[in-house]
């Protein structure tokens, strides 16, 4: 399928980086040109994103990564989600978990993920890798449009917030003004010099414990670890799709694909294809609500979920002629997140997503560190019957997920991802179908019109229902929209590029050439060497 695009795909042989912020891409490329690995460049990109996009991700947040080792044809899943503090329990809250402040946070997992990635892929020293982020924090960077808009948006929602003062950021910032974050620079330097102990056992940990009045303990920080696991993998067409194990919702992306594989998506009408994919999404989300939680605290039988019998049963629930509006409610989460990917000259590649959950996370900064804390604790349920019920040391269900696809010979074919909370697994579903079934190149795929099935306007973000609205970018033909309405979908138009995603995509040709695409819906950028 050919379509016009706003920009050309990026082709490269020596390495490639695609991210939502050009300065982060430049940092990754700089590390690659200095002889760094994909892992080194990914850590550099991640750290710079925390400096230049603090509303979306930060050192006080989480990360999930899918990696590919081309030499060994090996894929890994890095789960950098944090645990609930040992003081956290349902009886600490009344009707809902705090949305802001330190009582809304889990133990941060991003920094530990850096060091696990470095252990697996690192070639350069951490002081070399973190140098670009330290420089941008210490000496400043020019605020771009997205940076200024995020600040204004957060202030509009929470005019009394002190988060920007704590970060050392001027709330009257204009586009092009210099942003300096000295406390954050000091923290990054300490981590570069002392390792992850500076964050989890040193001065940063002590400041967090003291400022949180003991809500966090030194034990909480010291016991945290990033889990390194085999990814969840399923066969879709001629490819193996690799995704995030629980507590990530990546499992339902794979379920969506397994359900969809029973249909010839490439040769049916666009309306039927969207309809089938929306119906598969509904089924998978219902399973998320019923099953998803921390596998170290509950049993999740994914072999049973992914079995042919289970998938056939779920597929049989789809009516080609009409939308299903009868299923019970399913949970939902909002978030602010950033996704990027990196590949190097040796064929190593990482698909990486990181977040502080809602915009500016807990809206609370560890005093004197410049480190913004996540509000991921709000991802737990207070319902004792839920598999995602809050408990000390437990990790909440996560929307964060990244994916990759390999060929039958084990070589890497595709990587991709996007921010977007519940939109993530819906967008990733579309990206994989577009790449494999519809043969779009990464830039065509990144720009292609997208849909999202979410709760009706004005409804609770925690109560997404089957009868929700199907929002579609208005570049989709009116005839297709009308056909979907006739099937029973409540269709609502978005602006031409109004879908809430920021996609980055990679394709690897059999000859080893990289092709990257970046989403014009954000200030994204792709570059190669």
What's the pTM? 0.92
Using a 10 angstrom Cβ sphere, with 0-12 exposed, 13-18 middle and 19 or more buried, the burial of residue 160 is exposed
Cα–Cα distance list, 185 to 18, 80, 111, 137, 181 (Å):
24, 22, 15, 5, 6
Q: Which two tokens stand for residue 419?
A: 């921010």
CA angle 276, 279, 282 (to 5 degrees): 155
Sign of CA dihedral 295, 297, 303, 306: negative
Residue 70 neighbours by CB distance under 10 Å: 19
Structure confidence at residue 458 (pLDDT) = 41
CA distance 270 to 246: 32
Structure confidence at residue 414 (pLDDT) = 98
Structure confidence at residue 454 (pLDDT) = 85
Structure confidence at residue 332 (pLDDT) = 36
Short-list 122, 134, 128, 230, CA closest to 182 = 134
Report DSSP letters for 51-108, one per residue: HH-TTT--TBSEEEEEEEETTTTEEEEEEEPPPPPTT--GGG-SSS--SSSGGG-PPP
Q: Which two tokens stand for residue 410?
A: 């084990």
Catalytic position from the list 106, 226, 337, 369: 337
In 203-269, which ranges are continuous DSSP H helix?
203-211, 218-223, 250-260
Q: What are phi and psi of 302, to 5 degrees?
A: -75, -25
Cβ–Cβ under 8 Å, residues 487 and 322: yes
Structure confidence at residue 466 (pLDDT) = 63
Q: What are phi and psi of 354, to 5 degrees?
A: -140, 155
Residue range(s) in the chain whose domain bears CATH number 1.10.246.130: 232-334+421-512
Short-list 528, 358, 368, CA closest to 443 = 528
Cα–Cα distance list, 394 to 82, 197, 243 (Å):
8, 22, 21
Short-list 112, 135, 130, CA closest to 45 = 130
Cβ–Cβ under 8 Å, residues 492 and 472: yes
Report DSSP letters for 284-321, one per residue: HHHHHHHH-S-TTTS---HHHHTSHHHHHHHHTT--SS
337 in catalytic set: yes
**Per-residue pLDDT in tens (0 to 9) along the chain, 529 residues:** 345 778 889 999 999 999 999 999 999 999 999 999 999 999 999 999 999 999 889 999 999 999 999 999 999 999 999 999 999 999 999 889 999 999 999 999 999 999 999 999 999 999 999 999 999 999 999 999 989 998 999 999 899 999 999 999 999 999 999 999 999 999 999 999 999 999 999 999 999 999 999 899 999 999 999 999 999 999 999 999 999 999 998 899 999 999 999 999 999 999 999 999 999 999 998 888 788 888 999 988 899 999 999 999 999 999 999 998 775 333 333 446 889 999 999 999 999 999 999 889 999 999 999 999 999 999 899 999 999 999 999 999 888 889 999 999 999 999 999 987 778 889 999 999 999 999 999 999 999 999 999 865 543 334 455 668 899 999 999 999 999 999 999 999 999 988 888 899 999 999 999 999 999 888 889 999 9
Short-list 153, 106, 110, CA closest to 378 = 106
Structure confidence at residue 333 (pLDDT) = 37
Structure confidence at residue 460 (pLDDT) = 35
Structure confidence at residue 1 (pLDDT) = 37
Cα–Cα distance list, 139 to 135, 182, 183, 189, 379 (Å):
6, 8, 12, 13, 36
Half-sphere exposure (Cβ direction) of 469: Cα atoms closer than 13 Å = 13
CA distance 231 to 505: 19
CATH 1.10.246.130 holds for 232-334+421-512: yes
């Amino acid at each position: 399928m050919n379509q016009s695009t706003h920009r050309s795909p990026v082709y490269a042989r020596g390495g490639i980086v695609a991210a939502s912020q050009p300065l982060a891409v430049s940092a990754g490329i700089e590390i690659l040109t200095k002889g760094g690995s994909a892992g080194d460049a990914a850590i550099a990109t991640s750290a710079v994103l925390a400096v230049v996009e603090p509303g979306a991700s930060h050192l006080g947040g989480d990360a999930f990564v899918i990696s590919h080792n081309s030499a060994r044809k090996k894929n890994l899943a890095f789960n950098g989600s944090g645990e609930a503090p040992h003081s956290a329990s349902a009886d600490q809250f009344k009707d809902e978990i705090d949305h802001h402040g330190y009582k809304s946070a889990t133990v941060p997992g991003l920094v530990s993920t850096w060091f696990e990635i470095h252990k697996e892929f690192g070639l350069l020293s951490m002081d070399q890798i973190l140098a670009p982020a330290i420089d941008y924090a210490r000496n400043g960077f020019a605020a771009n449009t997205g940076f200024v808009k995020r600040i204004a948006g957060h202030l509009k929602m929470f005019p009394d917030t002190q988060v920007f003062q704590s970060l050392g950021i001027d709330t009257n910032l204009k586009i092009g003004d210099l942003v300096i974050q000295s406390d954050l620079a000091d923290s990054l330097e300490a981590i570069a010099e002392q390792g992850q102990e500076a964050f989890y056992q040193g001065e940063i940990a002590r400041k967090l414990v003291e400022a949180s009045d003991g809500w966090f303990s030194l034990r909480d920080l010291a016991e945290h670890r990033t889990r390194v696991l085999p990814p969840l993998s399923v066969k879709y067409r001629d490819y193996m799709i690799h995704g995030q194990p629980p507590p990530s919702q990546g499992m339902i992306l794979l379920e969506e694909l397994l359900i969809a594989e029973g249909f010839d998506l490439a040769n049916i009408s666009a309306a039927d294809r969207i309809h089938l994919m929306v119906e598969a999404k509904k089924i998978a989300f219902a399973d998320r609500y019923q099953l998803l939680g921390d596998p170290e605290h509950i049993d999740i039988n994914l072999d049973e979920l992914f079995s042919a019998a289970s998938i056939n049963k779920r597929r049989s629930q789809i009516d080609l002629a009409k939308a299903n509006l009868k299923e019970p409610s399913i949970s939902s989460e909002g978030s602010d997140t950033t996704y990027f990917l990196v590949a190097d000259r040796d064929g190593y590649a990482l698909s990486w997503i990181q977040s502080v959950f809602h915009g500016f996370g807990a809206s609370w900064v560890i005093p004197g560190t410049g480190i913004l804390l996540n509000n991921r604790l709000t991802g737990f349920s207070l319902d004792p019957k839920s598999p995602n019920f809050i408990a000390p040391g437990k990790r909440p269900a996560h929307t964060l997920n990244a994916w990759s696809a390999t060929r039958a010979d084990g070589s890497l074919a595709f990587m991709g991802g996007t921010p977007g909370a519940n939109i993530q697994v819906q967008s990733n579903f579309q990206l994989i179908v577009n790449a494999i079934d519809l043969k779009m190149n990464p830039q065509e795929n990144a720009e292609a019109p997208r849909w999202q099935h979410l709760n009706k306007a004005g409804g609770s973000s925690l109560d997404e229902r089957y009868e929700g609205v199907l929002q579609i970018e208005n570049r989709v033909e009116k005839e297709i929209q009308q056909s979907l309405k006739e099937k029973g979908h409540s269709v609502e138009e978005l602006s031409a590029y109004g879908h809430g995603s920021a996609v980055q995509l990679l394709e690897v040709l059999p000859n080893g050439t990289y092709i990257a695409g970046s989403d014009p819906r954000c200030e994204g950028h792709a570059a190669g060497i």
